[in-house]
Chains A and B, each alone.
Chain A
Amino acid sequence: AQSVTQLDSQVPVFEEAPVELRCNYSSSVSVYLFWYVQYPNQGLQLLLKYLSGSTLVESINGFEAEFNKSQTSFHLRKPSVHISDTAEYFCAVSPTGNQFYFGTGTSLTVIP
């Protein structure tokens, strides 16, 4: 079975500072990779995804993630965070496109 590791359960960061949320997965085969965001009392929303092609993918609100096959990582970054980015972030892996495996989540808190 696949495993997804989000190394940091909580990440506090000051407003306008950069942030990186780490995600590593265990797989020797091709995978599809996703980052989801969950705001309080809501479901998960897709932030960005990697299916194939360019290893750097971007979201509409300034986040980006880079697929690194050799390190089996898909870290999420943002150069300058806002208060509104405070949320729970989940990394997910889908080896076949049928079943999804989620990490335990990283709680990002942006401090004014």
Chain B
Amino acid sequence: KAGVTQTPRYLIKTRGQQVTLSCSPISGHRSVSWYQQTPGQGLQFLFEYFSETQRNKGNFPGRFSGRQFSNSRSEMNVSTLELGDSALYLCASRTGTRSTGELFFGEGSRLTVL
């Protein structure tokens, strides 16, 4: 069974640009969550999508947005990039239907903002 796939793995942008990251969950998983990982801050929850609907949202500005498609693939977008947006963005999937399901993570997309 294929794992969670994130693309691209690495990218470099400049301030003010926007970026779109993609995540393909494990087959059969309907829940996709996004996290921002920075040194010293750990993992900060961005949002979770389940069956194309945003189910939970973290405390990030509106520049951060996401969506989920009917095949459960998800994208997140960051507009008007700032230097502080440089981070590893992790996507995680789970079945979403049972409350005991753990998260399965992708390898992440490392974003550098110059």
Contact = CB atoms under 8 A, between A and B. Distances in A.
Check if A and B associate.
yes
Contacts of B4: 43
- Interface range, B side: 20 to 34
B54 to A, nearest CB: 13
Query: Chain A contact residues: over half helix, strand or loop, or mixed?
Result: loop
A51 to B, nearest CB: 5
Interface of A: 9, 32, 34, 36, 41-46, 49, 51, 90, 92, 96-105
Interface string B72-108: 0000000000000000001010000011111111111
B101 A41 contact: no
B11 interface: no
B61 interface: no
Contact of A104 (B40, B55, B108): B40
A103 B42 contact: yes
B90 to A, nearest CB: 6
Contact of B105 (A9, A44, A96): A44
A98 B42 CA distance: 19
A9 B22 CA distance: 30
